[in-house]
Amino acid sequence: MDSSSRIVQGLGRVVDDHIAWLSQWHQIAFYAGPARAAKAAELKAPTSFLQWHERAQETLASQQPVLERLCALHEQLHTSARLVLMRAPEDGNMPVEDYEKVLARFDEFVTSVRRLERAFSEAAAGLDPLTGLRTRVGLPEDFNRELSRFRNAGTPCVLVMVDLDRFKSVNDAHGHETGDKVLVAAGNTLLRHIRTYDDAYRMGGEEFLLMLKGLDPNAALPVLERLRAALARMDVRAPDGSLLRLTASLGFTAIRAGAALDELLAEADQALYRAKRDGRNRIVRA
């Protein structure tokens, strides 16, 4: 069994164990009565997550921010669940807002586990486990679909190369864990500033690709300007607490009949190179 399979298998057990744990929590919350506080102290978090987390730190050393967030959600869930039980009135019903708070924590934790599980289980189909963005694997099929739409209906589409400026200096000064935090923040920023039917890919390192559908170059330009500004506003903290500010350079081109994917990627890449050469933190059209 490879490392990805072990990660997926372990996460599946984490979810199953926490569903069973939630059932126990419900029994204490609604049926324990005066013994609620004592039973709350006895209710332990499932060990499967901590066991999985210990193994994952070795397997996923480059994805520490993802692990830290999942660990924090796990701690918040069980702390909240324990406190809600201990503070509930012995002879009355638990306040609805306290009950809903625990369920919200549970949903957030399980959703995050499922998201990571899906990223690894679908890795062969092209999901980057660090950022959750797609990878090159599915790009040719996606491109061919958009090229067909362009040929048949004239629907435009632009390809955008995005590269974080001076990213190497972050790794050199603050370490790869901080660099990974920057990449996660950049991926989240990209997803927030494109539409749900657009596609975002991590091409490798600090380089990303966007496929903006239904937009010609003129219509894409203000969208990219908002994205460039959003990337410049990202808040990522260094280990010493200082705020890191990065910018990004963008180069883009439009799909056209007769142009292959590699040709268009090379055009966008050349435009990106010109953006870097001309001072960075800017957008250049091929």
- Count of Cβ atoms closer than 10 Å to residue 251 Cβ: 25
C-alpha span between 43 and 66 (Å, rounded): 27
List the catalytic residues: 206
C-alpha span between 140 and 16 (Å, rounded): 37
Within 13 Å and on the Cβ side, how many CA atoms surround 264?
23
Q: Take residue 224 and report the two structure tokens written for it.
A: 């990219």
C-alpha span between 276 and 146 (Å, rounded): 28
C-alpha span between 44 and 21 (Å, rounded): 8
C-alpha span between 225 and 16 (Å, rounded): 44
CB 104 within 8 A of CB 81: no
3-state secondary structure 172-239: HHHCHHHHHHHHHHHHHHHHHCCCCCCEEEEEECCEEEEEEECCCHHHHHHHHHHHHHHHHCCCEECC
C-alpha span between 12 and 26 (Å, rounded): 22
CB 70 within 8 A of CB 108: no
- Vertex 60: Cα angle to 139 and 141 (nearest 5): 10
